[in-house]
Amino acid sequence: MNKIVIAGFAVFVCFGLASFTKPSDKPFELLKQYMSGSFSSELQSQNDSDYFDIRLRMEPIWKSNDNEFFLYVEQAMSTSLDKPYRQRIYKVIKESEESFVSYIYTMNAPQRFTGKMGSDEIFSVITPDSLKVLEGCEVRLFFNRKLNQFEGSTADRTCPSTRSGATHTTSKVVIGPKGMNSWDQGWNDAGTQVWGATKGGYEFLKK
């Protein structure tokens, strides 16, 4: 089994901390605020050699409204920021005042977006209908008002994977004002984990 996996989206530690940000009467706006920005797992990697120093950027793109927003997402090793290993677009929609879904999309020629900001003109050359959704890999999020954070996961056995003998993946995520915890794991048909972190998710602190 791999020593770690570089997380894409997902364990439940308190990233909320009400003393940092007061709970909002508009959780959807709060979710966008929490998810937007630059994040780093540098501190975790310094404390535990099982985790790499990963940099994560999540940039708002296109025009948002009261029911949805889009993010350009880029992850890279701290030593190779110009060569991200994952580039995605997330579409986050509001199902209710306290429940949300984040859909994950791939795009053609993602390298052209490396290092770009959400306001860059380059994002105007693609539109949502040109993206390919990763079926079954969406993350459902719920607002934990008591902890002032969002908690969620993928559904069981719905997100396919062929990596290292896996048949499906699971993701768990906690998103709060100080950052997010993301835990991706790969499983085979027998329910045995074949790749991914075993101790817990990546702790991405907001910079």
Residue 170 · residue 154 · CB < 8 Å:
yes
Whole-number percent of the chain with pLDDT over 70:
88
The model's confidence at residue 15, banded by pLDDT at 50, 70 and 90, is low
Tally of residues, the chain: 207
Q: Is the pLDDT of residue 10 over 50?
A: no
Distance CA 158, CA 135 (A): 8
**Owner of token pair 């994952």:** 86
Give residue limits of the domains in the chain.
Answer: 27-206
- 178 touches 205 (CB < 8 A): yes
Q: For the residues 189-204, what does the mean pLDDT come to?
A: 93
Write out pLDDT tens, residues 70-107. Answer: 999 999 999 999 999 999 999 999 999 999 999 999 99
Task: Identify the pLDDT of residue 16.
Answer: 54
Lowest average pLDDT, out of 17-26, 137-146, 154-163, goes to 17-26
Least confident stretch, 7-11, 41-45, 110-114, 187-191: 7-11
Confidence (pLDDT) at 119: 87
Strand partners, 181: 174, 203
Helix (H, G, I), strand (E, B) or coil at 77: strand
Q: How would residue 136 be classed by pLDDT, with cut points 50, 70 and 90?
A: very high
The backbone region for 135, taken as left when phi is positive above 0, alpha when psi lies in -120 to 50, beta otherwise, is beta
The CATH superfamily holding the domain 27-206 is: CpcT/CpeT domain (2.40.128.590)
pLDDT of res. 196: 86
Q: What is the pLDDT of residue 8?
A: 53
Contact 152, 172 (CB under 8 A): yes
Task: Please state, in angstroms and rounded to a whole number, the distance separating the CA atoms of residues 201 and 197.
Answer: 7
- Note the pLDDT of residue 22: 57
Q: How high is the mean pLDDT of the chain? A: 90
Pull the structure tokens for residue 12.
């439940």
Burial class (CB in 10 A: 0-12, 13-18, 19+), 21: middle
CB 40 within 8 A of CB 204: yes
Average of pLDDT values for 156-184?
A: 95
What's the average model confidence in pLDDT over 13-17?
51
